[in-house]
Structure 1
């Protein structure tokens, strides 16, 4: 009996030692979680008309086909042979369109870090309890161009996130994120980027106070692996100088080559990760 107790005690100590070793290893590689530089992203030029994406080309083609169909149904007016009294032509007016708020042209907006947040959500079973792990950071940057004359020509630039600064409610989990899962303690993998390739279901017009829903498809790069991801997006034009938005997408972490290490206290981790960005973008006067 004493031998059995001794063996159990030794195994318990070995298990504790192994866990402690893992925690020490993670802490040694994780760094301090501080950003190496101020967050920034490639800027957009509102004066440059973008190359339309697939959805924009489809929408334009459908609009043209509709116009052609309408024109084909118009009955030609009969030819008038009687002399027509010349009429004074109407005065020319400015044909440039503006919406009811006086907004027109292309305006550049930039994400404001102090009012924005990027999150990931993943479910796991911790000590027998099902919980949702939430990681957050405000280190996000990116540009948006809104075309108030033709919303279909609006743009979203590259969105850049410093994943090294992501934090959860657990210090040891944070160390594991930086050291082993995202490896964001390494300079090579400090940032994740989302580069939009297509904007779908944009409206025909937009004014202050409008809330629009559309989809942004693009290339998401995390720890050197890139996959196409579509974000369901909602944006409110709060004023001529302020946008407020929310975007979300669901991914499989294994698609990006990520591996979550086994931990004795965690018996199960979901495959899906929900990504979210809640942002404020302020108008840039250049």
Structure 2
């Protein structure tokens, strides 16, 4: 093979490689398969019951007197991830958001220790940031949302809720559970703050910090990005009402 043919073959190989990489990153990701909806508590593979300093774990059902069955209101709720990076030699905080978050819970306002929380789902295909290029990279390369549409949190235990409720009080507690991203599941703890702002309305926030490498996630190197934090914060602002 002469030098001209070698150069031609090399250029052809590079073009093929760049085309494959470009297709992987830039192709249009799959859209949400359907509007997200809450998995009913009775159908959840598991749900968390509360344990607190003044109460033992309970097995309250949604048929108990005074128990309110509520679902996350998507129009008033938001799930997001927050991660820090250095972009073009300047620190930047990247935030990805979606209102496609769903879950069901059962609350007894007179006895918060009876609270139960079902599976929480977030549709990863609907996460968006301030960059379309980043959105495609997140969905096509990082989270592989064509294959893994949902991020799922399955609660195991609620810690820190009291046995007696107080009208208008704000409750700070933790929910321990299994977080599944792509095909990897790890146990995490969400710190939660919730306030009953009306008789049948609950507002709150939940957050936890994870190492994305623990879920087998790698972030592709980009020339403009000097570094990316090892940790990512996951947050949910939620409103829950009876449906």
Identify the TM-score tier after normalising by the shorter chain. 0.7 to 0.9
Cα distance in 2, alignment partners of residues 176 and 282 from structure 1? 35
**Which SS does the other structure have where 2:41 is aligned?**
coil
TM-aligned CA deviation for residue 150 of structure 1 = 2.5
TM-aligned CA deviation for residue 31 of structure 1 = 1.9
TM-aligned CA deviation for residue 51 of structure 1 = 7.9
In the alignment, is residue 248 of structure 1 matched against residue 175 of structure 2?
Answer: no
Cα distance in 2, alignment partners of residues 183 and 260 from structure 1? 12
In the alignment, is residue 35 of structure 1 matched against residue 32 of structure 2?
Answer: yes
TM-aligned CA deviation for residue 207 of structure 1 = 3.5
Cα distance in 1, alignment partners of residues 219 and 197 from structure 2? 40
Instruction: Map 1:91-240; keep pairs closer than 5 Å.
Output: 105-186=66-147, 189-240=148-199
Instruction: Please state which structure has a larger fraction of its residues in strand.
Output: 2
TM-aligned CA deviation for residue 210 of structure 1 = 1.4
Could you tell me which of 22, 30, 41 is aligned with 1:44? 41
Unaligned ranges ≥5, structure 1: 1-14, 62-103
Cα distance in 2, alignment partners of residues 281 and 141 from structure 1? 10
TM-aligned CA deviation for residue 131 of structure 1 = 0.5
Question: TM-score, structure 2 length as denominator?
Answer: 0.82
Instruction: Please state which structure has a larger fraction of its residues in helix.
Output: 1
What do the CA deviations read for 1:145-172 (whole angstroms, capped 9, x no partner)?
A: 1123432121111000001110100111
The higher radius of gyration belongs to: 1
Cα distance in 2, alignment partners of residues 60 and 185 from structure 1? 43
What do the CA deviations read for 1:55-98 (whole angstroms, capped 9, x no partner)?
A: 45x7546xxxxxxxxxxxxxxxxxxxxxxxxxxxxxxxxxxxxx
Question: TM-score, structure 1 length as denominator?
Answer: 0.71
TM-aligned CA deviation for residue 248 of structure 1 = 0.5
Tell me if structure 2 keeps the 8 A contact 1:247–1:276: yes
Cα distance in 2, alignment partners of residues 20 and 224 from structure 1? 28
Cα distance in 2, alignment partners of residues 127 and 253 from structure 1? 23
Cα distance in 2, alignment partners of residues 20 and 210 from structure 1? 57
Cα distance in 1, alignment partners of residues 133 and 19 from structure 2? 11
Cα distance in 1, alignment partners of residues 163 and 136 from structure 2? 47
TM-aligned CA deviation for residue 220 of structure 1 = 0.3
The two structures, once aligned, show a CA RMSD in angstroms of: 2.4
Unaligned ranges ≥5, structure 2: 1-13, 57-64
Cα distance in 2, alignment partners of residues 205 and 133 from structure 1? 40
**Which SS does the other structure have where 1:175 is aligned?**
helix
Cα distance in 1, alignment partners of residues 23 and 230 from structure 2? 27
